[in-house]
Amino acid sequence: MQNPSKTPLLDQIASPEDLRRLPEADLRQVAAELRSETIDAVSVTGGHLGAGLGVVELTVAIHHVFDTPRDRLIWDVGHQAYPHKILTGRRDRIRTLRQGGGLSGFTKRTESEYDPFGAAHSSTSISAGLGMAVARDLDGRHNNVIAVIGDGAMSAGMAFEAMNNAGAMHSRLIVILNDNDMSIAPPVGAMSVYLARLSATRTYLKLRDIGKQLTRQLPERVDRAITRAVEHARGYVTGGTLFEELGFYYVGPIDGHNFDQLMPVLKNVRDTDVGGPVLIHVVTQKGKGYAPAEASDDKYHGVNTFDVVTGAQSKAKANAPSYTKVFADSLIKEARKDDRIVAITAAMPTGTGLDFFGQEFPTRTFDVGIAEQHAVTFAAGLATEGYKPFCAIYSTFLQRAYDQLVHDVSIQRLPVRFAIDRAGLVGADGATHAGSFDVAYLGCLPEMTIMAAADEAELVHMVATAAAYNDGPIAFRYPRGEGVGVDMPEFGVPLKIGKGRVMREGTRVALLSLGTRLGEALKAAEMLAAHGLSTSVADARFAKPLDRDLVRRLAANHEVLITIEEGSVGGFGSFVMQALAEDGAFDGTGTTALKFRSMVLPDVYLDHDKPDRLYAQAGLDARAIVAKVLGVLGRSEDAATSLMA
């Protein structure tokens, strides 16, 4: 006899259309089964768990009430969309999440028609939703647009820019504020305090009901005057007028796990045109329904594979400390020596390692929330007063603050230190989080100094270099994950600005690496030696200022010079090529001509996979380097054999 299914209702749902055919009385069971399926799937794949568990009931309610995908549903960030994916025809692939060739860990337009907007960075949903709503109005259509945004994401200025615009345009847009009292880390700032006050009071709900009863029989003019007074009083009772002054009709707060509250509110909003945008304030619990997540400080925001029964996460045995931990430990040591050092993070204290720094220096650690633009200019202000701010921001998150980098830091030549984590390819998070562009977008700025650590020991020295440097902005980049296992210095020693190092001397081929591809370059040199090619390997250390003496020496003394970097075109290789062109290094002919090539990330967005596979796919591993050299020398058959080996 077959065992009965643990998810009998979920088994009947291949799309939201199937869900909408179920009676409302079944929705609690659907939610319970969906929560169980989400937990089980993420236990196999790892990924984001707590955020998805917190919106299970909300996900079910939205898809039951609204006509998705005709009604557009946008999930801000998208890391809470695993339950959404299960309900929208992707359950059969849910255990491929974040695996090579599998489902994305975020919403993705090319993956499903139920993902109308791709997102992996926060605070974009209201802007995108407003664009869709205006397009609908221009087309004369009548579908709904729903943006679900977390309270953490509401700390970003972009969310308020969008709300300000939406309120002024009076387009019909539904914003659901998912208030779970945290983003990735516990919430910071006045907005979290404000939302807590909103969700803690129910006085206004009673006040509004009483007001309606009192004014129902009065003349319309008097009714309107009293209603305005009641609504104004609401601002003093709950503060709801913040959203209403921005032009939104505010509803809430309501319990995001209670279908008796969710369903009538969503239906009323769906069926009632209030003449402009609506904000529904929904209070949820991150990690809801899974005890280990509820008990965890980060509510199991991001997890490895784990045991469903105990919640114990599996962790690979570390061979070396992570680059993030090395950065944090190094900064702590520097801060013990210099009380002018301060650290800034934009809602990522754990991800950047600044939680460790904050434990020792709580008054010198600043989490500004999801507000990278503010973080950079805040750091600039600190720098004007003689402090030494270390602004620790992921490579792709720093992109959000580019104007501040240019206008507030670079032009004023302020010594802000940028610790750029997640440089290069990041694996399971995919293209949205791959640090591909920072060398290119920083390198074009005057007065910017850029370092890239080849290993964890180099990172220690680069932290010390940044701490000692006061002549302008300085950045150092390093990847996600573990170091390579080199011997670690007890203390960092400042490097000479703009000077690289030669790791291996050769005579015919020169490999000039920036960053952690150095290990692959050294492997390639050994492989090239087997082909009879004597190879030099150098670590540039600095993308800017460029070690021109080193570049000239390598160009003059070798037939082939190849640069290797974990970044896009327009970065380190372009800087080297520009310098060589100015020197006339390419002016020779025949056998005297330098054969130069630059190995960079391909001009495509690479999907999620394991980092080593991604670098092989990108053509930046040792075999690809060997093949490149052999191809340059006209040994195409050998090059093809090397790639296939």
Terminal alpha carbon distance of the chain: 51
Measuring CA to CA, which residue among 328, 269, 302 is closest to residue 105?
302
Contact between 486 and 549 (Cβ < 8 Å): no
| Residue whose structure tokens are 């709503």 | 133
Angle (CA) 142-148-149 rounded to 5° is 140
Contact between 211 and 230 (Cβ < 8 Å): yes
In the sheet where 388-394 sits, what is the strand order? 365-367, 341-345, 388-394, 417-421, 474-477, 449-452, 542-544
| Sign of the CA dihedral with 28 first, then 29, 33, and 34 last | negative
Helix axes 636-644, 622-632, angle to 10 degrees: 170
* C-alpha span between 56 and 66 (Å, rounded): 16
User: Residue 542, SS3?
Assistant: strand
Q: What is the DSSP letter of 148?
A: E
Helix axes 259-271, 27-45, angle to 10 degrees: 100
Residues 262/264/270/275 CA torsion (nearest 10 deg): -100
Cα 586 from chain centre: 41
Alpha helices in 490-635 (DSSP H): 518-530, 548-557, 572-583, 611-618, 622-632
If you write DSSP's letter for every residue of 604-635 in order, what string do you get?
S---S--HHHHHHHHT-SHHHHHHHHHHHTT-
* C-alpha span between 398 and 405 (Å, rounded): 9
> What is the amino acid identity at position 72?
R
CA distances for 562 relative to 422, 476, 479, 632, 635, angstroms: 24, 22, 22, 10, 16
CA distances for 389 relative to 133, 337, 360, 421, 479, angstroms: 41, 15, 16, 16, 21
* C-alpha span between 458 and 242 (Å, rounded): 49
CA distances for 128 relative to 109, 133, 251, 564, angstroms: 13, 9, 22, 37
Measuring CA to CA, which residue among 568, 527, 79 is closest to residue 298?
79
| Residue whose structure tokens are 């045995």 | 317
Beta bridge partners of 72: 145
Contact between 269 and 71 (Cβ < 8 Å): no
- The residues annotated as belonging to the active site are 286, 372, 400
Contact between 484 and 511 (Cβ < 8 Å): no
* C-alpha span between 187 and 371 (Å, rounded): 12
